[in-house]
């Protein structure tokens, strides 16, 4: 029996890119905390025959192009996580355009490959998000967490749980842009990964993956490289940022990869869903995460 698909994405940013760090009263002189995990991550993926999508903050590619090239050369997808990891809603129109366009240009120049996917820092977007993406040349977005509203965080705006046209979220979105929402626990509607994996443990994430797969939905997970290392103490950074980082998180990630899923890139899931809908496939009982027209879901 074929294994159901799942996406393990890496929001490739440094500890110093975190809003929690930028707003802290303390500082660290270690600028690139988290980047040293690249080689061990790639080995882990290779050991489990897993493909991943790295949503890369492109200023990292400017400083360390060899690391991004190494990721791309091992057949993982490179996508954008903006140029400087700034919240898009806090920027003016020109700054948003620059964050999206510069990131894609830098990443394509670095890898020599097309970059079609995008994820906004903290899932934070502005009202012109999809038109900005289309203008910058992206084909899919992965900036929706269809979770309950979490005060001070995100959520509450959308309830799509599988790939869909962007027009499902915004009727004014340009045609041809797709949305790939991240996985959330059915009914509870909290994200399966990121901080939530560290709070609730891998059993929680694995259960959510299985429940989504039973509904024909490919779980889309995300982690950060800084979560996989021992973080330097910085005054003012919340304790939750440090909780279960380092060795604990590395063990949790390995346990997830050991599950009976086929780990594929985000672009693969979007393209398969689009092709499935183009053939007029039915969702009744299918195990393919297809482009939702609004009739499927919870």
What are the DSSP calls for 159-226, one per residue? Answer: ---S-EEGGGT-TTSPTT-EE-PPPB-TTT--BSSTHHHHHH-HHHHHHHHHHHHHTT---EEEE-GG
Cα→Cα distances 166→77, 114, 173, 178, 196, Å = 21, 20, 6, 5, 26
CB 235 within 8 A of CB 24: yes
Predicted pLDDT of residue 289: 39
Q: Residue 42: in which H helix or E strand, if any?
A: helix 38-47
Predicted pLDDT of residue 285: 33
Residue 21: helix, strand or coil by DSSP? helix
For the chain, the domains span 5-278
Predicted pLDDT of residue 293: 35
Query: Sign (positive/negative) of CA torsion 268, 271, 274, 279?
Result: negative
Which residues touch 15 (CB under 8 Å, ≥6 apart)?
21, 28, 30, 33, 34, 226, 231, 232
Predicted pLDDT of residue 155: 79
Tokens of 257: 């990869």
Predicted pLDDT of residue 105: 98
Which regions of the chain are under pLDDT 50? Answer: 282-298
Predicted TM-score (pTM) of the model is 0.92
Residue with tokens 């330097």: 232
Q: Which of 145, 157, 297, 137 is nearest to 217 (CA)?
A: 297
Fold of the domain spanning 5-278: TIM Barrel (3.20.20)
CB 36 within 8 A of CB 229: yes
Q: How far apart are CA 42 and CA 13, in angstroms?
A: 16
Predicted pLDDT of residue 290: 41
Predicted pLDDT of residue 201: 98
- The radius of gyration of the chain from alpha carbons, rounded to an integer in Å, stands at 18
């Amino acid at each position: 029996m074929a294994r159901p698909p799942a996406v393990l994405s890496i929001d490739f940013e440094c500890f110093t890119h975190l809003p929690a760090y930028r707003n802290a009263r303390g500082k660290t002189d270690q600028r690139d905390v988290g980047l040293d995990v690249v080689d061990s991550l790639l080995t882990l993926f290779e050991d489990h025959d897993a493909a991943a999508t790295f949503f890369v903050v492109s200023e990292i590619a400017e400083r360390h192009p060899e690391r991004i090239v190494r990721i791309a050369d091992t057949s993982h997808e490179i996508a954008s996580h903006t140029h400087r990891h700034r919240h898009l809603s806090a920027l003016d129109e020109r700054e948003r355009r620059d964050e999206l366009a510069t990131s894609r240009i830098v990443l394509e120049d670095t890898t020599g490959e097309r970059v079609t996917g995008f994820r906004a820092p903290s899932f934070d977007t502005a009202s012109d998000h999809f038109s900005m993406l289309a203008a910058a040349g992206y084909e899919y977005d992965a900036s929706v967490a269809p979770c309950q509203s979490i005060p001070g965080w995100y959520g509450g705006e959308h309830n799509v749980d599988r790939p869909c046209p962007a027009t499902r979220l915004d009727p004014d979105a340009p045609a041809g842009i797709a949305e790939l929402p991240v996985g959330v626990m059915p009914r509870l509607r909290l994200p399966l990964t990121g901080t939530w994996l560290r709070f609730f443990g891998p059993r929680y994430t694995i259960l959510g993956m299985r429940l989504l797969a039973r509904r024909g939905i490919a779980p889309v997970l995300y982690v950060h490289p800084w979560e996989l290392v021992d973080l330097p103490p910085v005054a003012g950074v919340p304790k939750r940022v440090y909780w279960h980082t380092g060795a604990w998180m590395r063990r949790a990630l390995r346990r997830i990869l050991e599950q009976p899923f086929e780990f594929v890139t985000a672009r693969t899931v979007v393209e398969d869903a689009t092709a499935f809908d183009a053939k007029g496939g039915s969702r009744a009982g299918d195990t393919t995460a297809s482009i939702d027209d609004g009739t499927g879901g919870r």
